[in-house]
Structure 1
Amino acid sequence: MRKFLGYILSPLHYISFGLALLIFHPIQWLCFNLFGYKAHKRSVDILNWFLMASYYWLGNTVTFVNKQKLPIGRSIIFMANHQSTYDIPPLIWYLRKYHAKFISKIELAKGIPSVSYNLRHGGGANIDRKDNRQSISELVKLGTRMKENNWSAVIFPEGTRSKDGHVKMFQGGGVGALLKKCPDALIVPVAISNSWKVIRYGQYPLNTFIPMRWEVLAPIEPGEKSANELALMVENRIKECLKQE
């Protein structure tokens, strides 16, 4: 039944999602070029509220739980498991006060209304996975911007999306590069569940009536821990939250 409803409801979601991207592309341009970073960021935040709201055309729901008293004005590295592109708008919206920047594939920085513009001008890192030197350089630059502006970052240490929701091994390279330039950053795990089920059948039809959940877990002070030790700690905490072995 859910798949059948997906044939009916997916077009409504895609129309809503696509219109938001098209409408906010010129809004972003105006905000960035006329009013600067703060106005541009605000436009991106609002865009992602609309993108997240488009999930509800499918009957899917978003529950974002953050019971942690995280500091404002200190850089944070949010480390999350990755299940689908639907992970991202709720992270941008609900973590907006932390100025969280994303690490994205460089291919996404061209050709996508609103998304590509934000990736080029929003302050994140666009990495070429085929060029290790370029990737490290971009991460180091992001770490420097985090340090200078008290920005935060969201990274997906699995390196690729999980197609069945099972958490893959976390890699420490990304968090290590960021901590080299921003050693005072706080490490915060985020456990994401059920977003993979939205694309269980592919891009069409999308799955329907899925209760998606994001939960911010207890922060970790990096201290003298290595990047790999931190990655393993975060991986285990997320698995525990998701009740995975």
Structure 2
Amino acid sequence: MLLIFHAIQWLSLNLGGYTPHKKAVDILNWFLTSSYYLLGNTVTFINHQHLPTNRSIIFIANHQSMYDIPPLIYFLRKHHAKFISKIELATGIPSISYNLKHGGAANIDRNDPKQSIGEILKLAKNMKEKNWSTVIFPEGTRSKTGVMKPFAVGGIATILKKVPHALIVPIVINNSWKMVRYGSFPLNTFIAMRWEVLKPIEPEGLSAEEIVKKAEAAIREKVML
């Protein structure tokens, strides 16, 4: 699937530009999300919030596995949500690396603070100019047991300096860590995985630290262990 869509992405981007490429990425992530069902796992994505499409959004989520990401891309597709990713993922993985390189993600080198800030600022500029959104995992790394790690403020604070009116939307992810309980292989079966979009936080009058604290508290309250 990744090999096929790597070619489709290349053709879409080079023949049509951003919009066809994004549609190809959305369809790829529908297929990736649907593949979870092959193992008897289920995906429930709950969004009862009326989120604007004419305003940039910073989606803040806990992070349990790489399988968190395809449902986020697909179900949030109308918001043009881009990811902050470690630079190592931008090479060597069919489809995934191509999208990270050419789809608008911020690919950061954790050993190079200057490069990392530059990438995040470039993403913030695109958010401001193109009305894009972003998905941030403030824990920094995946939780292998579902227990949340403390949220870092850095990346969110940097984006808010450039896009101060971006809406903050927490998302809680539950049980995706169980799919990789035994590592990448074998993947676990019959897991009820769940994504839920929580009540938005207006940033006006709040510091970045206060915003992240509110988002972290809202997500912690909904995490199931």
Q: Normalising to structure 2: TM-score of the pair?
A: 0.98
Q: Alignment partner for residue 66 of structure 2, among 82, 85, 92?
A: 85
Gaps of 5+ in 2: none
Show the 5 A alignment for 1:152-163: 152-163=133-144
RMSD of Structure 2 on Structure 1 (CA): 0.9
For 1:88 and 1:34, how far apart are their aligned partners in 2? 27
For 1:240 and 1:167, how far apart are their aligned partners in 2? 11
What's the CA shift for 1:125?
0.3
Aligned residues of 1:59 and 1:209 also touching (Cα < 8 A):
yes
Q: In the alignment, which residue of structure 2 is the partner of 1:204?
A: 185
Aligned residues of 1:173 and 1:228 also touching (Cα < 8 A):
no
For 2:186 and 2:224, how far apart are their aligned partners in 1? 28
Q: In the alignment, which residue of structure 2 is the partner of 1:214?
A: 195
In the alignment, residue 145 of structure 2 is paired with which amino acid?
A: D
Are residue 65 (structure 1) and residue 43 (structure 2) matched?
no
For 1:172 and 1:46, how far apart are their aligned partners in 2? 32
Whichever structure has more helix as a proportion of its residues is: 1
Q: In the alignment, which residue of structure 1 is the partner of 2:129?
A: 148
Q: Alignment partner for residue 33 of structure 1, among 14, 17, 21?
A: 14
Are residue 119 (structure 1) and residue 81 (structure 2) matched?
no
In the alignment, residue 184 of structure 1 is paired with which amino acid?
A: H
Q: Alignment partner for residue 139 of structure 1, among 109, 116, 120?
A: 120
Among the aligned pairs, what percent are the same residue? 67
For 2:210 and 2:224, how far apart are their aligned partners in 1? 21
Aligned residues: 225
What's the CA shift for 1:172?
0.8
Q: In the alignment, which residue of structure 1 is the partner of 2:148?
A: 167
Q: Alignment partner for residue 29 of structure 2, among 44, 48, 54?
A: 48
What's the CA shift for 1:224?
2.5
Q: Normalising to structure 1: TM-score of the pair?
A: 0.90
Range that drifts further, 86-95 or 216-225: 216-225
Q: Which has the greater radius of gyration?
A: 1
What's the CA shift for 1:29?
0.4
In the alignment, residue 129 of structure 1 is paired with which amino acid?
A: R
